[in-house]
Amino acid sequence: MIAKRRRYKGIQEILVKGTNWVGDTIISFPAVHALRQHFPKASITVLTNARLAELWKANPAVDEVLPYDMPAGAGRIFGELRIARLIRQRTIDLAVIFPRSFSSALMVFLGGIPRRIGYKGEGRDLLLTERIDCTTQLLGRHRMYYYLHLVEHLGRCPSPPLPSISLNGKLQGWADGFLSRHGLKGELLIGLNPGATYGEAKCWSPERFVQLGRRIIKDYGASILIFGSSRPEEKELNAAIARGIGAGCLNLSGETSLLQLAALLRHCRLLVTNDTGTMHVAAAVGTRVAAIFGPTDPRATAPLGEGHVVIRREVSCSPCLKRLCPEDHRCMDLIEVEEVYNTVGMQLNGRASIVGASKGLKEE
């Protein structure tokens, strides 16, 4: 431990190459807090996809955010070179590379940073100065530990806090005003997130979301907020679900920024969702989550914190991690409306466990 700390003495500027997904960004927050504990006086800059920049700006452990837009196709290499030049303009002592991709390591390597920490593999070993093994044991734990393990290479530190998103007064005021304008201030709000960016296999049936929403409105007098991305197919899906639910439902798909989404989720008593980035946003603002899992593994990506419930079915082909189901989608279709509805009731009443469902991750 002491030897490692001496080895990294004098580090003043640190670059973190952030992940490319909303959920992974939030899950990686504890690793950045651990990095801050290791280097309390250093400046920490996060290099990130532009659409995720606002999340990092709301993280108090981060001093600066460098956003970028990466061109697609043949223009990608020029985008990577442009980012490398941007890095070279700075005097950075150490880089921690969260994504396990060749391009992430290449950008940092071309940026001339002398110490570069990342996971082995993907043909990038020569681009790293400190190569970390990604073990089977590590992959069997929650993904939060995947990112923390990179920072623990620098030496162990006290357990960092679970992910949280800091909402300033302006954002909270915006959310209050938004809800007031729609006559929802002080109402019991339940969020639904029926889509998933990764693929259709992660999605519970739209018809079942409609049935669930109707029952929640009828039995609890709640108002439903539907959340989702601005992708045309997801907006169309959510619009159809909102029409099916009818009065008492407001469709906000693609209508908010990520931090506006966080501010509205903070007002929700509960979010019912597939395995999505929105799930992690809700958990990070302290909102309870009922998460419906099918092809993905809750051991790796369950919402972090207390009071969450993961609903899933034990089937032989799950988790398969496929975007599209090649069979009958039974991992999701076996989850009935009644089970999710009962979970909602138990969570609203302060009980966070149910037969057939498992609690959100709690690991010692």
For residue 267, the enclosing domain spans 169-359
Q: What is the CATH number of the domain that holds 111?
A: 3.40.50.2000
Whether residue 148 is found in the same domain as residue 251? no
Q: ∠341-344-350 over CA atoms, to 5°?
A: 145
Rounded average pLDDT over 247-275: 98
pLDDT of the residue at 18: 98
Q: Is the residue at 157 inside a domain? A: no
Measure CA of the first residue to CA of the last residue in the chain; give whole Å: 22
Measured distance CA(294)–CA(276) in Å, rounded: 12
pLDDT of the residue at 351: 64
Tokens of 16: 């973190």
Q: Is the predicted pLDDT of residue 4 greater than 60, yes or no?
A: no
Q: Is the residue at 116 inside a domain? A: yes
Q: Which one of 152, 184, 212 terminates a domain? A: 152
* Strand order, beta sheet including 130-132: 64-68, 43-49, 13-17, 94-97, 115-119, 130-132
**What one-character DSSP code corresponds to residue 361?**
B
Q: Which helix (H) or strand (E) is 116 found in, with range?
A: strand 115-119
Q: Is the predicted pLDDT of residue 326 greater than 80, yes or no?
A: no
3-class state of residue 67 by DSSP: strand
Whether residue 309 is found in the same domain as residue 218? yes
Q: Is the predicted pLDDT of residue 47 greater than 90, yes or no?
A: yes
| 268 in Cβ contact with 287 (< 8 Å) | yes
| 63 in Cβ contact with 45 (< 8 Å) | yes
pLDDT of the residue at 131: 97
Quick one: which of 187, 267, 261 has its CA closest to 228?
Answer: 261
Q: Is the residue at 160 inside a domain? A: no
Q: How many domains does the chain have?
A: 2
Percent of the chain predicted with pLDDT > 70 = 94
Q: Is the predicted pLDDT of residue 354 greater than 50, yes or no?
A: no
Q: pLDDT-based confidence at 163, cuts 50/70/90?
A: very high
* pLDDT tens digits, one per residue of 128-162: 999 999 998 998 999 999 999 999 999 887 788 89
Q: Is the predicted pLDDT of residue 7 greater than 70, yes or no?
A: no
Task: Share the mean pLDDT of the chain.
Answer: 92
Whether residue 96 is found in the same domain as residue 207? no
Q: Which one of 152, 185, 207 terminates a domain? A: 152
Model confidence, pTM: 0.92
Measured distance CA(48)–CA(50) in Å, rounded: 6
Whether residue 60 is found in the same domain as residue 97? yes
Rounded average pLDDT over 49-63: 97
pLDDT of the residue at 28: 98
pLDDT of the residue at 359: 38
Whether residue 147 is found in the same domain as residue 243? no
Q: Is the predicted pLDDT of residue 361 greater than 70, yes or no?
A: no
Q: Is the predicted pLDDT of residue 297 greater than 90, yes or no?
A: yes
Whether residue 100 is found in the same domain as residue 183? no
